[in-house]
Amino acid sequence: MDLFEANPEPGSCGPLAERMRPRRLNEMVGQEHLLGPGKVLRCLIETDQLSSVIFWGPPGTGKTTLAQVIANSTRSRFEFFSAVLQGVKEVRELIRQAREERAYHGRKTLLFVDEIHRFNKAQQDAFLPYVERGDIILIGATTENPSFEINSALLSRSRVFVLKPLESFHIQELLQRALEDPRGLDQRHRDTPETTLALLAGQAHGDARAGLNALEVAAALTGKGPISLQTAREALQKKGLLYDKGGEEHYNVISAFIKSLRGSDPDAALYWLARMIESGEDPQFIARRMVIFAAEDIGNADPRGLQIALAAQQASHFVGMPEGRIPLAQATTYLACAPKSNASYLGIDKALAEVRRSGSLPVPLHLRNAPTELMKKLDYGKDYRYPHDYEGGHTLQSYLPESLRDCNYYRPSNRGFEKTLQERMSLLRNREQTVPGEKVFPNHQNRDEDANSRQTDRPSAKSGNVLPKPEKAD
């Protein structure tokens, strides 16, 4: 059965959005980048030369409507298939019919698959050989990113057309048409003011179906005559924002939030935070991303950033929502305004790349622990210098494997507190090489005298060897 065979006729009691669905290309509103004069999709439809395509866009932007327009204009056989209601068994039957149509009548079959992302990758494979041989021309519709949800082999054989959310004036045009068209409200509310239609169109957020549904509710509340602004507000109530926790918009909004923090724009960051909160995002997901951001993008330029992000995570979890929005907002504004540095993030990635490249290089002998006499005889810990025993709490010695001794992974920026770290590291790295007679702190010169009364694995500043553990009492 073809879905479009059951389209409501004028005067039927089907939903307004379904009754007002455009049937011809010249009735389409919006998507000028695809359907404007001379644009590629319009030309393909008008010349009946459509190849396999994927329509990708938010709800209410015209994906299924485009399929209906194609069905009404093509000379090919058109079949509608729902990935929600049907499965691979039905696919095989449709393919059999398509092959017969091509063999006996020389007609192509256009197969429209609504919600194609509902099929898993294995189920999508069922289409692949028939698309490859030309038995069918596949038209898929999806609200999810095809890069993630469509089989790569199928995607490579299809062209993706991106449908954009409709502008408010597009939706207002559709609402005006619905007021006048016999298929719609048939002039019963023809004196409805433009302000009412503008409100309904603006609150549709680019979704034509949502706008028409709201108009239908407002018309039902009115009965007959103009629809007032107050009635429109009552019909709207509260519309859920476009936001799918597991889908494309989820990642778009969190990406915008993080980029606003990184760009030091507290106003934009608060807006995207509000979008996530209002859409029902898990506050702990937001908090976790802020903790990551504080370490990755602020780092040592302001070490308090990580503390504040963690505190916001704990506070929002402790008090719950809606009050949890307040510590999240406080942390958001602080992180946005804080100085930025990704030096630690870059440093660990450089170090990891080195480890993967060079493998398990041996630990230098002077850095090894020597808890046994055998290890001492093998020079484990020999010549290690205990930094606290030297003036300034620092002595120059190599802490990297010999082949990496000149490597530099952490490069502090000159922003925020990290500038202080940069100056200190420059001072330490520029010191002259220490000599055996380097000055030792007086408080530590007699450290070995009471060695037998303490258990330690610290090597002596004099000998470089690990102090022996005290013998057990008899």
DSSP string, 192-220: --HHHHHHHHHTTTT-HHHHHHHHHHHHH
pLDDT band at residue 238 using 50, 70 and 90 as cut-offs: low
pLDDT reported for residue 131: 84
Q: Is pLDDT larger for residue 267 or for residue 132?
A: 267
Q: Any idea which of 58-62, 212-216, 320-324, 435-439 has the lowest mean pLDDT?
A: 435-439
What is the band of 442 on the pLDDT scale with cuts at 50, 70, 90? very low
Cite the DSSP H helix spans in 203-324. 208-222, 229-236, 248-262, 266-278, 283-293, 304-319
Predicted TM-score (pTM) of this structure: 0.58
Tokens linked to 416: 């925020």
Q: Are 50 and 13 in contact (CB under 8 A)?
A: no
CB atoms within 10 A of CB 344: 19
pLDDT of the residue at 248 = 65
Measure the CA angle with vertex 19, ends 41 and 223; round to 5°.
140
Query: What is the pLDDT at residue 8?
Result: 43
Domain locations along the chain:
31-162, 168-236, 248-337, 363-453
Contacts of 241 (CB under 8 A, 6+ apart): 205, 275, 278, 279
Residue-level pLDDT at 465: 40
Q: Which two tokens stand for residue 119?
A: 């099929």
Of the candidates 328, 336, 341, which has an alpha carbon nearest to the alpha carbon of residue 410? Answer: 341
Fill in the amino acid letter for 342.
N
424 pLDDT tier (thresholds 50, 70, 90): confident
CATH fold of 168-236 = Helicase, Ruva Protein; domain 3 (1.10.8)
Which residues, other chains included, contact 396 with Cβ-Cβ below 8 Å and sequence gap of 6+? 428, 431, 433, 434
Give the strands of the sheet with 137-142, arranged side by side.
Answer: 77-82, 109-114, 137-142, 53-56, 159-162
Least confident of 125-139, 191-205, 241-255, 315-329: 241-255
Instruction: Please enumerate in sequence order all residues whose Cβ is within 8 A of that of 423, keeping only pairs 6 or more positions apart, or say none.
Output: none
On the question of pLDDT at 347 being above 60, the answer is yes
CATH code of the domain occupying 363-453: 1.10.3710
Token digits for 243? 């936001």
For residues 299-311, average pLDDT: 95
- Confidence class for position 252, pLDDT limits 50, 70, 90: confident
Confidence of residue 191 (pLDDT cuts 50, 70, 90): confident
CA distance 165 to 58: 7
- Does 471 or 330 have the greater pLDDT score? 330
Residue pLDDT, tens place only, 26-82: 889 999 999 999 999 999 988 888 888 999 998 889 998 988 888 888 777 888 887
CA-to-CA separations, 55 to 70, 102, 143, 302, in angstroms, rounded: 13, 25, 8, 46
pLDDT single digits (tens) 218-231: 998 888 889 998 89
Fold of 248-337: Zinc Finger, Delta Prime; domain 3 (1.20.272)
Given pLDDT bands bounded at 50, 70 and 90, which one contains residue 161?
very high
Task: Tell me: pLDDT of 423 over 90.
Answer: no
Neighbours of 307 (CB within 10 A): 12
Residue found under tokens 């509340």: 221
What tokens does 331 get? Answer: 């942390």
The tens digit of pLDDT for each residue in 78-112 reads: 888 877 777 777 878 888 888 888 878 778 888 88
The residue assigned the tokens 């510590």 is: 327
Q: Is the pLDDT of residue 6 over 70?
A: no
* Spatial separation of the C-alpha atoms in residues 401 and 361, rounded to whole Å: 6
Bridge partners for 79 per DSSP = 111
Contact between residue 176 and residue 197 where contact means Cβ atoms under 8 Å apart: yes
CATH top class, domain 31-162: alpha beta
Q: Say if residue 180's pLDDT is above 50.
A: yes
Whether 115 and 148 have beta carbons less than 8 Å apart is answered as no
Mean pLDDT of the chain: 82
Cα–Cα distance measured from residue 346 to residue 226, given in angstroms and rounded to the nearest whole number: 63
What residues have CB less than 8 Å from 360, skipping those under 6 apart? none
Other Cβ atoms less than 10 A from the Cβ of 188: the count is 15
pLDDT at 383 over 80: yes
Lowest-confidence region among 196-205, 268-277, 447-456: 447-456
With pLDDT > 70 as the criterion, what percentage of the chain qualifies? 86
Q: How far apart are the C-alpha atoms of 350 and 342, rounded to whole Å?
A: 12
pLDDT in tens, 113-132: 888 888 887 778 888 888 88
pLDDT at residue 96 in the model: 85
